[in-house]
Amino acid sequence: MILLVARFGRGFLAQTGVLLGLLAGTAVAVPLGLADFSAARAADWIGLSAPFHFGAPEFPAVAVLSMCVVMLVLFAESTADLIAVAELTGRRLTTADMARGLAKLGAWVAGLPQPVVGAAGLVMSATVAAVGVSTLREVDFDGTHNLLIAAVLIGVGMAPEMAPDLYSRVPEGIGIVLGSPVTSATLLAFCLNLAFNGGNPRRDAGLVRAPAAEGKREALAGRTRV
C-alpha cells in the first residue's frame, strides 16, 4: 500500500503513503480481531509520570554518564525520526513540531496491529537511514579526513552487532555505553570530528582541503587552460 501510494500518488497524496498504509492495514485487521484499542479508550489524554516509581533515586557516576549519553542519542534519534517524517510529508520541521506529544495518541498507536506497525516502521526506519545517507552527500570527502571518520564510525558501530561479547570483560558501566552501536558511534563521532575538524571552523564546513588535493586541482586547472 505504501509503495503503491508513493508510486501512483500525486502531490500531497504521494507524501502520505505511510499514514494511508497504517489506516488501510488497520482497516483490514479490525474485522479479523487483530487490533485491540481497549487500552486507548481507558487512557488519559495527558499522562503524568509517578514520582519515585522505581524507588528512591541513586546517582552512581557511571550510570549518570551512561544515561546522559543515551539521552543524547535518543534526542538525535528522535530528531532524525521527525526529519524523516518531514521529508515524507514535504513539510518544514519546526521547533513546535518537535515539542508536541500526547499520552492518548501513544495508547492508540500501541493498539495498532503489530504487522501493520512493523510494515510502516520498516519504511520509516529505512527512510531515517536514507536521510542519513542523503545528509552525507553534503559532506566534503575530497582532501579531508571525513571519509576516514565515516569509515571508522561504521566499523565501530557494527562491531557490537557482529561481536556481541566484544565488551564483555570491560566494567559494566563502560560496557553499557560501548555495547550500544548508536551510543559508541555517536561518542566517537563527536571525538573524531573534534580531533580532526575542531581546530578550524572553515574545515568543519569542508572549505579547507589537504595540500595534495589542492595541488591536484591546480594541476588539472592548468591542463584545462593549456
pLDDT-based confidence at residue 117 (cuts at 50, 70, 90): confident
pLDDT tens-digit readout, 157-167: 899 888 888 88
pLDDT at 201: 52
pLDDT tens-digit readout, 26-35: 888 888 888 8
DSSP letter for 207, please: -
Place of cell 539521552: 71
The percent of residues in the chain predicted with pLDDT above 70, rounded, is: 80
Q: Is the pLDDT of residue 51 over 70?
A: yes
Query: Quick one: cell of 219?
Result: 594541476
pLDDT-based confidence at residue 218 (cuts at 50, 70, 90): very low
Question: How far is Cα 124 from Cα 84, in angstroms, rounded to an integer?
Answer: 7
Q: Is the pLDDT of residue 175 over 90?
A: no
pTM recorded for the entire structure: 0.52
pLDDT-based confidence at residue 142 (cuts at 50, 70, 90): confident
DSSP calls for 124-180:
HHHHHHHHHHHHHTTS--TTSSHHHHHHHHHHHHHHHHH-TTTTTTS-HHHHHHHTS
